[in-house]
Amino acid sequence: MKEAVLITYMGAPSTTKEIKPFLYRLFSDRDLINFGVPSFLQKSLAYLIATFRTPKVKPQYEAIGGGSPLVANTFEQIRLVEERLGLKTYVGMLYSEPLIERVSREIGLDEVDKLYHMTFYPQFSYGTVGACIRDVEKLLNGRVATIKHVKSWTLNPLYIQWIREQISKKLKKLDSEKTAVLFSAHSIPVYFVKEKNDPYPHEILATVREVMKSFPGFVYRISYQSKVGPIEWLKPTTEEVLYELKKEGFENVVVFPISFISEHIETLYELDIEYGNLAKTLGIRYYRVRLNHKHPLLIGAIVDEIDKLRKE
């Protein structure tokens, strides 16, 4: 029996030329963002938004080197995973290359019998993990006899320890009475929670509470970033929380991108540049925790979750 692993992610534009097609695919996905228009208008609206938004975000990608490192980072991670598991590991992205449509054909041609699928989103949301599972099922049912999914790994002990180790390096020399730990998560549309009972905010909270058991003397907050489009998204925003922390008298803020496991536009531009500059303006010392995407603890967490599937 031939076993293999499939890692999925939404993806990201690796070059500025990829920005518009990435945005078009992203906004075309009605399960991810429902603009409230009839379904037959979704793609037309997506094209308009992608067309107008591309010139706006292009300078952001140029500011971080001309493209997102997310796809390259993911390949670095899966090579390490492949070494540890001894199984062929594929990568498929929903909205950028390597597109999952092509990768699914490759998996079919390789005659894989049992596929272990995992997303690089530790916390479950219907818009991220759910969308990845949806596409894997749609594209690979009938091509692979057995598909097993990791739906959430929000409390994986190795993942929790990975976060703790990175945060602890920033907190060591800081006064707990003057320092707040801010966990900034990628936001999701509010209707996901109201209409679908999306567990995402609860899973974010569960991860943060588990992490902070190691730092009982520090105050922590959870915020949301990366709102896109005219619909309502989860709050409070990272910007709002920074203002609140200033009013509360905190001098230092240690920021961890809680829903991410590698660097990309939301960390390198939004957190480092936009919110870093805001913190500077507010007079807050701003310490953003870097995401070591190749750390043995993180790779161990991914391998651990796949091993659980293999033992089921």
Tell me the CATH class for 3-153+297-311. Answer: alpha beta
pLDDT at position 298 over 90: yes
User: If you write DSSP's letter for every residue of 76-127 in order, what string do you get?
Assistant: HHHHHHHHHH-SEEEEEESSSSSBHHHHHHHHHHTT-SEEEEEES-SS--TT
For position 32, what pLDDT does the model report? 81
Average pLDDT (137-144) is 94
Express each pLDDT in 37-56 by its tens digit.
Answer: 888 889 998 999 999 999 99
Q: What local confidence, expressed as pLDDT, does residue 31 receive?
A: 82
Q: Is there a shared CATH topology between the 3-153+297-311 domain and the 157-288 domain?
A: yes
**Class of domain 157-288 (CATH, top level):** alpha beta
pLDDT at residue 165 in the model: 97
How would residue 293 be classed by pLDDT, with cut points 50, 70 and 90?
very high
pLDDT at 35: 78
Read off the pLDDT of residues 60-91 as tens digits, 9 standing for 90 and up: 999 999 999 999 999 999 999 999 999 999 99
Residue 86, token pair as written in the block = 């001894």
Per-residue pLDDT of 168-205, as tens digits, reads 999 999 999 999 999 999 999 999 999 999 999 999 99
Q: How far apart are CA 95 and CA 27, in angstroms?
A: 10
User: 277 Cβ partners below 8 Å, 6+ apart?
Assistant: none
Percent of the chain at pLDDT > 70 equals: 100
Split at pLDDT 50, 70, 90, the class of 34 is confident
3-state secondary structure of 183: strand
Enumerate the domain spans of the chain: 3-153+297-311, 157-288
148-170 pLDDT, tens digit each: 999 999 999 999 999 999 999 99
The confidence score (pLDDT) of residue 41 equals 87
Q: Is 90 exceeded by the pLDDT of residue 30?
A: no
- C-alpha angle with apex 13: 10 to 19, nearest 5 degrees? 115
Cβ pair 158, 91 in contact under 8 A: no
